Homo-oligomer: A and B are copies of this chain.
Amino acid sequence: MSVNPLQRMLEKINEAGLWQGDILLKRNDYLKTEGTKDTRVYFIHQGSLRMFVAEEGEEHTIRFGYQGNLVAALDSFFSEKSSPLIIQALRKTRISFISKEMFSLFLNEDEENRNLWIQILQGLMVQQLEREVDLLTTSPAERYRRVFERSPHLFQKIPHRYIAAYLRMTPETLSRLQKS
């Protein structure tokens, strides 16, 4: 299939009018806080988000979301339990949401939707495996190269100090690697 499965799924959710509400976040507002359950799926119309976990005063960045992305607190979404994940707006951000119940109805509705979801989950797994290798990669230059090749857009969308944290390097090291 040549069509992006995520784009196709978004079109179908839009056409069916399944979005259940909108949320407007100001910069630094929290969409999800630590230890809460959140099983909604969000679509970002405008702005950007970061997802992170906090451990003994340190923040570990897990993932970013920006305009056009579908995001969710995947651990809580799948387990239906509370999770340590925190989601925060990096700038003024406008999102729509759909509940897990509604999303499940959408998946059960037709075969194509389930097949799209299988493709999306498989794509997420590949991303997670890439991220695991990123995190295990010792060289900062190599970590930068891997992420830049995979997600060049990230560098236009997300403030660089957050990308540096995601890459586990100082903003100065990131800046030096970008110039070299």
Contacts and interface: CB of A to CB of B under 8 A. Distances in A.
22 contacts: A55-B139, A56-B138, A58-B138, A60-B136, A74-B125, A74-B126, A74-B129, A75-B130, A78-B122, A78-B123, A78-B125, A107-B118, A114-B115, A114-B118, A117-B118, A118-B118, A118-B121, A121-B121, A124-B125, A125-B128, A128-B129, A135-B135
A132 interface: yes
Interface core residue of A55, A115, A136 (most chain B CB under 10 Å) = A136
A129 B58 contact: no
A137 interface: yes
Top 6 A-B pairs ranked by shortest CB distance?
A: A60-B136, A128-B128, A121-B121, A135-B135, A78-B122, A75-B129
A131 B128 CA distance: 9
A50 B172 CA distance: 37
| Size class of the contact patch on chain A | 20 to 34
Nearest to A55: B137
A70 interface: no
A84 interface: yes
A133 interface: yes
A126 B62 contact: no
Contacts of A114: 114-115, 118
Contacts of A14: none
A119 to B, nearest CB: 9
